[in-house]
Homo-oligomer: A and B are copies of this chain.
Amino acid sequence: MSPRVSKQHLEERKNHILDAAKRVFEQKGYEPVTMQDIVKEAGISRGNLYQYFSNTEEIMQAVIEKNDDSFYTYIQDLASSHEKVWDAIQAYQKVVFQSLPNPYGIVMYEYSVTRWRNPERKAFFQKRYTRAMKSFLALLEEGVKQGEFHPVQPLETIVNFMVNIWDGLILMAHVEEPERVAVGGQLEALNLYLIQALRPDENTDWHLDTKIEPG
């Protein structure tokens, strides 16, 4: 076996483990999952798992990093795949709406909340936050550059606010009945804010098409 094939094989096995681990985390939540759960779900040997990861914390971080990679590729493509940045934001808002019932969001949320008392986890998420900020800032800056937006708040603040809302909806969607927390209405509320904060040129509509129920 050439080193190239071997490397590819190792990568595939790692992805197989991460996919299995993600399913287990989504079923049980982060804290209760053991290495044995992942061994069982992946259908591999214990020794095989430990060749790649030492504990569930490492696995969780690898799951998040893998997920983030495809997420940020999507965000980067958003601006170029829409004529108006406003339309790109609307496309993203619909993705948020549709993906809310996915348990991955709440597991990741749960894992991240305890970071205030876990320095390693805190460092991991601060790096992650920097990446999120950078991606969404680039999107809004594109709108300013194209003369589409005339913001009345710093773009950083606007991005913080957006991220705050979207993160909060993940929690709300999993702990209350969706109609009770008016998930669609809150995304519309964010649009109503964004129109005031970004001041797009034309007469943009703050109503979001959320007729497709999440889930």
Q: Mark A106-147, 1 if CB is under 8 A from B, else 0.
A: 100110111111000010011001000000000000000000
Q: Within the assembled complex, what's the spacing in Å between the Cα atoms of A169 and B164?
A: 7
Q: Mark A171-210, 1 if CB is under 8 A from B, else 0.
A: 1101110000110011011101101110000000000000
A interface residues, how many (CB within 8 angstroms): 47
Q: Within the assembled complex, what's the spacing in Å between the Cα atoms of A77 and B106?
A: 35
Contact of A196 among B31, B114, B153, B193 (CB under 8 A): B193
Interface check A34, CB cutoff 8 A: no
- Given A113-B109, A175-B115, residue A192 in contact with residue B193 (CB < 8 A): yes
| Overall SS of chain A's interface | helix
Closest partner residue, chain B, to A115 (CB atom)? B175
Interface check A28, CB cutoff 8 A: yes
Interface check A3, CB cutoff 8 A: no
Contact of A193 among B32, B114, B157, B189 (CB under 8 A): B189
Interface check A167, CB cutoff 8 A: yes
Contacts of A31 in B (CB 8 A): 31, 114
Interface check A10, CB cutoff 8 A: no
A186 to chain B, nearest CB (A): 5
- Given A113-B109, A169-B164, residue A122 in contact with residue B196 (CB < 8 A): no
Interface check A165, CB cutoff 8 A: yes
Instruction: Determine if A186 and B157 form an interchain contact, defined as CB atoms under 8 angstroms apart.
Output: yes
Contact of A165 among B28, B164, B197 (CB under 8 A): B164
Contacts of A110 in B (CB 8 A): 113-114, 116
From A110, A117, A126, A165, name the one whose CB has the most chain B CB atoms within 10 angstroms.
A117
Contact of A164 among B106, B115, B157, B172 (CB under 8 A): B172
Instruction: Determine if B182 and A160 form an interchain contact, defined as CB atoms under 8 angstroms apart.
Output: yes
Query: A29-B116, A160-B186 given. 17 additional CB < 8 A pairs?
Result: A109-B113, A110-B113, A110-B116, A152-B192, A153-B185, A153-B192, A156-B182, A156-B185, A157-B185, A157-B189, A161-B165, A161-B185, A161-B186, A164-B168, A164-B181, A193-B193, A195-B196
